[in-house]
C-alpha cells in the first residue's frame, strides 16, 4: 500500500468566478511534484496570476516562484497560526493568538502594519522566539494588504479550498484503499467536477470592480513584499514542462455559462483549442466515464486561462 497526495489548484478567473484549474496525484508532496504540477498548468495556458495563497510548504513555495514570476505569495493565516502555536508556550497561547488575530481586524494597510509592529514589541521581552517568528513571517503573512480591502478576507487564507478538501477526504474515506491511481483520480475528479459546476452557476466570488482594482497591483514585489517565494523565483526561463501531465477535467470550461463562447477561454473552451490524452501511466481505463457527463474522466486541455488569484493545497 502506498500513500499518495492529491495536488489541487483553485483559481478565480477574470470574470470573478472560481474554477478548478487542475489536479495531480503524487506519492510525495515534495518540490518536484509541485514543480511538475505548476509547469503543467502554465503549459496548458494558465496566465495572469497576481496572487497565490497557500501554506508555507518549502517545495510548493519554491515551485510557485519558479513558474509564476511576478505573482505575489500570501501565506495562509490559518496554517501560520498553527505553526506559531507550535512554538508558543501553552499558557501564553491565548494571549498570543488574540494579538495575532487583532492584526486582521484593522481597517487599512497602515493600521495593519502598525498593529503588527505593536504585537512584536509586546512579545519581544517575554517571548522573543515568538516575536522573531512573527517578524520573519511578516512579508508573507501581510501580502494581502497589497490588494483591495474588500477582498482581504477572501485571499488571506485558503480556508475556502480546505472545505473542498474536507469533502474530498469524506468521499475517499468511504472507499479507504483504492485499487489503483486511476480509481482515485476518477473519484476525486467527480467531486471536483461537481464543485466546478456549482461555482459556475453561483454568484461571483470576487466582484468585477474589485478585480479591476486588483490588476493595478505591481507585478514585481517590492523589497517589503520579498517573500520566500520571491526569493526562490528564477531569473531565467525554465526548460520545457515535464512530460507528466496534470489531470484536467474535460467539460469544466465547456460547461461554463458566463460570457459565452467568445469569452477568450476564460469561461468556455475555445472551439479551436486542442486536447491531448494523458501519458500512458495516467490514462484512465478504457470505457470509464465521469459520472453524469458521459465523457472520459481526464485529459489535458490546451487553452488560455487568465486567472487572477489561485488557492492551492493537497489532500
User: Model confidence over 190-240: pLDDT tens digits?
Assistant: 999 999 999 999 999 888 887 777 765 544 443 333 344 333 333 333 333
- The answer to whether residues 9 and 311 touch, using CB atoms and an 8 Å cutoff, is yes
pLDDT of amino acid 259: 38
Beta-strand ranges (E) seen in the chain are 5-13, 18-26, 46-47, 51-54, 72-75, 274-276, 300-302, 305-314
pLDDT digits (tens, 9 = 90+) for 243-298: 444 444 433 343 333 433 333 333 332 333 333 232 222 322 333 333 333 433 33
pTM: 0.70
Sign of the alpha-carbon dihedral angle for 99, 104, 106, 112: positive
CA distances from 75 to 116, 118, 149, 178, 314 (A): 15, 21, 17, 32, 15
Helix (H, G, I), strand (E, B) or coil at 247: strand
Q: How many other C-beta atoms are found inside a 10 Å radius of the C-beta of residue 181?
A: 15
Per-residue pLDDT reduced to its tens digit, 66-91: 999 889 999 999 999 999 999 999 99
Helical residues (DSSP H) of 88-227, grouped into ranges: 93-103, 109-124, 128-141, 152-155, 159-175, 181-201, 208-214
Q: What element of type H or E holds 36?
A: helix 31-43
Amino acid at each position: 500500500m502506498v500513500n499518495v497526495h492529491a495536488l489541487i489548484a483553485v483559481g478565480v478567473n477574470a470574470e470573478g468566478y472560481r474554477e478548478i484549474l487542475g489536479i495531480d496525484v503524487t506519492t510525495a508532496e515534495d518540490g518536484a511534484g509541485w514543480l511538475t504540477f505548476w509547469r503543467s498548468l502554465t503549459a496548458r495556458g494558465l496566465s495572469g496570476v497576481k496572487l497565490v495563497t497557500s501554506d508555507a510548504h518549502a517545495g510548493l513555495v519554491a515551485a510557485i516562484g519558479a513558474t509564476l514570476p511576478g505573482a505575489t505569495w500570501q501565506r495562509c493565516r490559518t496554517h501560520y497560526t498553527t505553526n506559531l502555536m507550535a512554538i508558543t508556550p501553552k499558557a501564553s497561547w491565548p494571549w498570543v493568538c488574540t494579538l495575532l488575530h487583532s492584526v486582521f481586524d484593522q481597517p487599512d494597510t497602515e493600521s495593519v502594519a502598525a498593529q503588527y509592529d505593536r504585537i512584536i514589541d509586546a512579545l519581544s521581552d517575554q517571548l522573543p522566539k515568538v516575536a522573531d517568528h512573527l517578524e520573519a513571517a511578516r512579508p508573507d503573512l501581510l501580502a494581502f494588504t497589497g490588494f483591495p480591502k474588500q477582498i482581504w478576507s477572501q485571499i488571506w487564507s485558503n480556508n475556502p479550498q480546505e472545505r473542498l478538501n474536507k469533502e474530498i477526504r469524506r468521499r475517499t474515506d468511504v472507499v479507504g484503499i483504492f485499487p489503483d491511481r486511476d480509481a482515485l483520480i476518477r473519484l476525486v475528479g467527480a467531486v471536483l467536477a461537481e464543485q466546478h459546476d456549482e461555482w459556475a452557476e453561483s454568484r461571483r466570488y470576487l466582484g468585477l470592480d474589485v478585480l479591476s482594482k486588483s490588476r493595478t497591483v505591481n507585478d514585481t514585489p517590492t523589497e517589503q513584499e520579498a517573500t520566500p517565494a520571491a526569493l526562490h523565483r528564477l531569473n531565467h526561463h525554465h526548460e520545457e514542462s515535464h512530460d507528466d501531465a496534470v489531470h484536467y477535467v474535460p467539460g469544466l470550461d465547456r460547461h461554463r455559462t458566463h460570457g459565452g463562447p467568445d469569452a477568450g477561454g476564460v469561461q468556455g473552451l475555445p472551439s479551436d483549442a486542442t486536447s491531448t490524452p494523458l501519458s500512458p501511466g495516467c490514462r484512465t481505463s478504457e470505457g470509464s466515464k465521469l459520472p453524469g457527463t458521459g465523457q472520459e474522466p481526464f485529459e489535458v486541455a490546451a487553452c488560455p486561462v487568465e486567472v487572477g488569484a489561485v488557492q492551492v493545497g493537497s489532500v
